Amino acid sequence: MSKPLILVTNDDGITAPGLRALVRYMKEIGNVMVVAPDSPQSGMGHAITLDNTLYSKQVIFEQGKDAPVEFSCSGTPADCVKLALQELLPKKPDICVSGINHGSNASINVIYSGTMSAAIEAGIEGIPAIGFSLCDYSWDADFEPAEQFVKTIVRQALERGIPNGVVLNVNIPRTNGESPKGIKVCRQARANWKEKFDKRTNPMGKDYYWLTGEFVLLDKGEDTDEWALANGYISVVPTQFDLTAHHAIQDVNNWTLNE
């Protein structure tokens, strides 16, 4: 049997250590093609490029018969997946994996995540997709303790499939060199960001702002991604891109709307 074709992408950029680690892991599972941003695109969410041109070029990080074919792209993570599927890949991939992100995409962070938006873009096109994130923002973060877990999740997704309309959001705890305790399938914790803006003035007298904030966990449940991560487990949250609040349809239908 031929090996599966695996599309690898991210939002930290094609040179990010997290992506390079994911490429190494995926080469043990299938044939790898990489299409990733040429510069960091964190926090871009599902933005796409409409008012500018996109550029892509092939890049070479390694040689050999099993070396992945890699392209950098001037656009966002979602752009990368769109371009990969429509122009750069020889056929539809068997799976898309995004990451490994430097930093958490658990809880409300999934809304802002370029890593997850790339995976969701693949999911919209009917491709099984997983976003991986490590709860460590440092550039030299240690991804190796989670290697076997990452490969297990991808192999299971290839063998068993992912339900239509669902993308997996996988977050890995920072374990300081220890192996994670295991994997928990979770729900997304309720949380938000309490934003603050650091207002400053440049030498020309013009005000500018740096966005800062504090993560506020509003959920004490022990079945959430935040609980799993805090207790040393990898969290797997099945995430859907149908944003319809189906439970609220009847409530809104009871409004007086057609008089």
140 is in an annotated binding site: no
pLDDT band at 220 (very low <50, low <70, confident <90, very high): very high
35-92 pLDDT, tens per residue? 999 999 988 899 999 999 999 999 999 888 889 999 999 999 999 999 999 999 999 9
Average pLDDT on 174-194 reads 95
Query: Has residue 212 been placed in a domain?
Result: no
Question: Is the previous residue joined to 172 through a cis bond, with omega within 30 degrees of 0?
Answer: no
pLDDT band at 1 (very low <50, low <70, confident <90, very high): low
Please tell me the pTM assigned to this model.
0.94
Query: Has residue 216 been placed in a domain?
Result: no
Number of domains in the chain: 1
Q: What is the CATH number of the domain that holds 34?
A: 3.40.1210.10
225 is in an annotated binding site: no
For residues 112, 118, 124, 129, the Cα torsion angle rounded to the nearest 10 degrees is -110
Domain that holds residue 43: 5-188+222-243
72 three-state secondary structure: strand
42 is in an annotated binding site: yes
List Cα–Cα distances, 179 to 22, 27, 45, in angstroms.
17, 22, 30
Query: Has residue 250 been placed in a domain?
Result: no
Query: Has residue 120 been placed in a domain?
Result: yes
105 is in an annotated binding site: no
Q: For residues 198 and 209, what is the distance between their CA atoms, to the nearest angstrom?
A: 5
Residues 136, 138, 142, 146, CA torsion sign: positive
> Which class for 49: exposed (0-12), middle (13-18), buried (19 or more C-beta within 10 A)?
middle
Query: Has residue 207 been placed in a domain?
Result: no
